[in-house]
Amino acid sequence: MSESFDAVDIIATKRDRKALDKAQIDWVIDAYTRGVVADEQMSALAMAIFLNGMGREEIAHWTAAMIASGERMDFGSLARPTADKHSTGGVGDKITLPLAPLVAVYGVAVPQLSGRGLGHTGGTLDKLESIPGWQAALSNEAMLRQLDEIGAVICAAGAGLAPADKKLYALRDVTSTVEAIPLIASSIMSKKIAEGTGSLVLDVKVGSGAFMKTVEQARELARTMVDLGTDAGVRTVALLTDMATPLGLTAGNALEVKESVDVLAGGGPADVVELTVALAREMLAAAGKPDIDPAEALRDGRAMDVWRSMIYAQGGDPDATLPVATDTEVVTADADGVLQRLDALAVGVAAWRLGAGRARKEDPVQAGAGVVIHAKPGDRVTSGQPLLTLHTDTPDRFERAKEALRGAWSIAESAPDTVPLVIDRVS
């Protein structure tokens, strides 16, 4: 068939800093999905977008075209309102695990379509797959049934959801265009809008362990995504949260599951509890339940009950022993004083090199690999005291992991400046 446009003309339009109109965008996304636009042509267009940006209307059209490339889910048959959360990715970010069952306690359905880790940022599905028997893949029917009966589901997105995004995401990863704000925003929001949730809370990470290194960048991304959600009729709010330091005291798959269960049991690290509760409040408010203190359901065990039901429903055993790495090595403090900083990116790269993450989508991960953190900024340490314990099944990985940690912390006499965990809110 004859095509409505030519890819070269569309690339030139964006190269010359002009806006693409709806018809051009609809065609290029559809043609790329069909294979008419070649990878090298879409690479050139992605780089032009990275360099020259997009206006609000362009981003909205781009997002709508990616949604139109596949199916849309519908949760209208559920008796509960729906709320979802998306994090832009960080180190030790296991928040989805306690958050989904916590929100479900209060009669809000949480359809959490999650992904796998790539590079230094961990993947929710990789973490949950360290639980013996747990299955990430669910049919739409099984997902709806679990939402109706239990109230929460964490699973992989089906192949029919925004397939154009899946293809473009893989391309961006190998063409150094991942950080383009219009492309990040449209990638996230096309999947979330197609998913059909009624409300959405975004956790936009900022700092060394995040894609957005500055508050200004994170605020721009948050505003773009909130606008996209609002324009599509999804109640959307974003929190900007600190990712200069890893979240909690673990980075790795089974290690983070154990820490999440500690939170559900009423314990766990203070920062993980604080962010879980803050995001739960936002999700409940967006779903029409603003006057609830979700911390109560962590203390009294109700969230743990939903967690156990969720794991059982997807074939997992919540009482099973989690995998443990065969080898460990301790990294110690090199001075006396107060820990000033612990760099999230360095810890994330170390966990990745130990086997907790993957360099390519098809790589396997080690369930037990990762890093356990023994001190956080503000803690007093002594020379020779354990700072980190490295876990892996392949001890020849220790050296490269320790290389990643060179210069990752500093120790001084004075206490460091404190940075709030929740930096800003965009609505």
Catalytic residue among 61, 85, 116, 172: 172
CB of 391 closer than 8 Å to CB of 369: yes
Catalytic annotation on 94? no
Catalytic annotation on 191? yes
Catalytic residue among 69, 186, 187, 260: 187
Please report the DSSP string for 16-82 in residue order: TTPPPPHHHHHHHHHHHHHTSS-HHHHHHHHHHHHHH---HHHHHHHHHHHHHTS-----TT-SS-B
Which residues lie closer than 8 Å to 217 by C-beta, 6 or more apart?
181, 206
Quote the tokens at residue 101: 């069952």
Catalytic annotation on 77? no
Dihedral sign, CA of 115, 118, 123, 125? positive
From CA 185, how far away is CA 123, in angstroms rounded? 19
Query: Rounded to whole angstroms, what are the CA distances from 290 to 202, 241, 286, 293, 394?
Result: 17, 21, 7, 9, 48
Catalytic annotation on 187? yes
Catalytic residue among 14, 85, 86, 302: 86
Mapping DSSP to helix (H, G, I), strand (E, B) and coil, where does residue 256 land? helix
Catalytic residue among 127, 191, 219, 235: 191
From CA 35, how far away is CA 347, in angstroms rounded? 39
Closest CA to 95 of 82, 86, 105, 83: 86
Strands (E), 318-364: 327-332, 337-342
Taking the CB of residue 282, how many other CB atoms lie within 10 A of it?
Answer: 25
Q: Which residues are catalytic?
A: 86, 165, 172, 187, 191
